[in-house]
């Protein structure tokens, strides 16, 4: 997908949740953060020379920091996020620069997707498609979260989750296999 089709898919997702055109563009902090990420990621992946990339990325790093200060949402340009990304509420959202999120994912306020673990388990999560991550959840370590997963509010996910799992708690336990239909 082109960067414009990715931005459009994000915009359409925000509109689906009830925001009008002006509200989405001017008042929706999650959209601001995803828009900034899409533009910065385009530049980041298309400049192969690391020295040149560092220089060209300076304005984008400043832009990201401003968005982070205003919204409390940190999405580095190096992260990989599929189409139709939605941030339900702003503030306290941290996504590691090596994180991979699939398409059609929803995340809520206070979500952290981070590096964690020791030894072979140290790393960053890979999150599948159609995943809902509830408020205050932490997803950390070199783990895989399958497609159509729901991670409940205030849960800590530090182990792999299979497709269609509904996980809750600290550490998260699978409580159902109903998946994310209705959440996304």
* Residues identified as active-site: 83
Is residue 156 within 8 A of residue 138, CB to CB? The reply is: yes
Half-sphere exposure in the Cβ direction for 81 (13 Å, CA): 33
Residue 157, SS3? strand
Q: Taking the CA atoms of 124, 111, 77 and 105 in sequence, report the sign of the dihedral they define.
A: positive
Nearest to 38 by CA among 72, 84, 106, 70: 84
CA distance linking residue 129 with residue 10, whole number of Å: 14
Is residue 41 within 8 A of residue 79, CB to CB? The reply is: yes
CA distance linking residue 21 with residue 94, whole number of Å: 26
């Amino acid at each position: 997908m082109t960067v414009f089709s990715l931005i459009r898919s994000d915009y359409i997702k925000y509109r689906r949740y009830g925001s009008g055109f002006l509200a989405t563009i001017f008042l929706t902090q999650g959209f601001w953060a995803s828009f900034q990420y899409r533009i910065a990621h385009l530049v980041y992946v298309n400049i192969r020379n690391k020295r040149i990339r560092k220089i060209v990325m300076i304005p984008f790093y400043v832009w990201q920091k401003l968005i982070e200060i205003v919204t409390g949402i940190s999405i580095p340009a190096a992260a990989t996020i599929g189409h139709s990304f939605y941030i339900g509420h702003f503030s306290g959202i941290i996504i590691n620069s090596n994180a991979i999120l699939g398409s059609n994912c929803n995340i809520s306020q206070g979500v952290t997707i981070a590096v964690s673990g020791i030894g072979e388990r140290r790393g960053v999560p890979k999150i599948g498609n159609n995943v809902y991550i509830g408020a205050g959840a932490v997803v950390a370590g070199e783990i895989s979260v399958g497609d159509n997963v729901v991670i409940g509010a205030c849960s800590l996910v530090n182990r792999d989750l299979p497709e269609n799992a509904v996980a809750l708690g600290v550490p998260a336990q699978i409580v159902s296999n109903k998946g994310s239909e209705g959440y996304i």
